[in-house]
Amino acid sequence: MQQEKKQLSEIFCYPIKSLGGISLRKAKIEERGLQYDRRWMLVDAASGLALTQRTVPKMALLQVALKETALQITQAHQKLAPLLIPFQKTEGFETIQVQVWGSICTAQTIDKQIDEWFSEALEQPCRLVYMPDNCQRLVDVDWAKKGEIVSFADGYPLLLIGQSALDDLNKRMEKAILVNRFRPNLVFTGGSPYEGDTWHRFRIGQTIFENVKPCSRCIVTTLDQATLARGKEPLKTLATYRKVGGKVMFGHNLLIENATQLMDENSVAVGQEIEVLSWKEGVF
């Protein structure tokens, strides 16, 4: 097996599920994944169902920034003034039940004025909720190893994509797309395209990750994150060579093997080398 040097090249955090991502040089690793990643979520005001770009594409136009004590939300085209959401809120919240795919979770509301801002931006009644530390949303039992927990992410703590795989995909299409279509947390360089299919366990810094399954891709990948234009790509091309059991696969869902043993200051950083510890047979 070729042992070409592999490095972490990009890190992305998505504090509010389905809103714009944040490119980071360094990120703290926690039990649920990256610090702040998808700890907030917008839900339908009446049903408590999660809102995502699948049905509300304009969520992509809301950009998030990490400030010292708050999240800052800005709207493309500056129709609304920037919004600040404090990290810490110790009183005045309501505990409600929300649903993200098949999971029903306990979440905390934030603030009515914040809800009004998002409702105006998305032109539909919605509420912003936060996942408190005592919410234990479990990873799918078919893939969990030790009762791992996850944030409001679709199902797993982290998503990994290889830059060489994206480069290979772009060569197959008429028009190249950006990695933000796939909303990864970690991107790496080095190695052959789709080499990640054969990784089982790997280490970045002090953290040991396990590649548990390929990530099945949905219609969000067909949405241009800047213009909201919708097309058939990249799903059309991916379906010609990355389809398994009727699902299109691109990227890898990760668990954190030693999450509960990590020190508080543990983090990953762009430029760190990736050490593959064990391999498995690919599914393609």
- Mind listing the pLDDT tens digit for each residue in 258-268? 877 777 668 99
| Neighbour-count burial of 3, counting CB atoms closer than 10 A to its CB (0-12 exposed, 13-18 middle, 19+ buried) | exposed
In degrees, rounded to 5, the angle at the alpha carbon of residue 69 between the alpha carbons of residues 68 and 74 is 85
Mean pLDDT of 209-217: 96
Mean pLDDT of 158-182: 98
Question: Same domain for 190 and 95?
Answer: no
What CATH number does residue 249 fall under? 2.40.33.20
111 within some domain: yes
Which among 96, 130, 164 is the end of a domain?
130
33 within some domain: no
pLDDT higher than threshold 60 for residue 125 = yes
Do 148 and 255 meet the contact criterion of CB atoms below 8 Å apart? Answer: yes
2 within some domain: no
Do 66 and 36 meet the contact criterion of CB atoms below 8 Å apart? Answer: yes
User: Quick one: tokens of 247?
Assistant: 């699902």
In degrees, rounded to 5, the angle at the alpha carbon of residue 135 between the alpha carbons of residues 129 and 136 is 135
pLDDT at 90: 64
Question: Same domain for 56 and 166?
Answer: no
Q: Which residues contact 185 (CB under 8 A, 6 or more apart)?
A: 11, 12, 13, 33, 34, 37, 158, 159, 160
Q: What is the average pLDDT score of the chain?
A: 94
Question: Same domain for 74 and 192?
Answer: no
In this prediction the pTM is 0.95
pLDDT higher than threshold 70 for residue 127 = yes
Place of tokens 């919708």: 230
Question: Same domain for 118 and 63?
Answer: yes
pLDDT band at 1 (very low <50, low <70, confident <90, very high): very low
- Note down the domain range covering 59: 40-130
Q: How many CB atoms lie within 10 A of CB 43?
A: 24
3-class secondary structure, 43: strand
Distance CA 169, CA 237 (A): 8
CB neighbour burial string for 234-270, b if at least 16 within 10 angstroms, e if fewer: bbebbeeebeeeeebbbbbbbbbbebeebeeeebbeb
User: Quick one: tokens of 186?
Assistant: 């970690």
Question: Same domain for 72 and 20?
Answer: no
Question: Same domain for 192 and 214?
Answer: yes
22 within some domain: yes
Report the domain count for the chain. 2
Instruction: Pick the more confident residue, 183 or 259.
Output: 183
pLDDT higher than threshold 60 for residue 2 = no
User: Quick one: tokens of 239?
Assistant: 């379906």
pLDDT at 258: 87
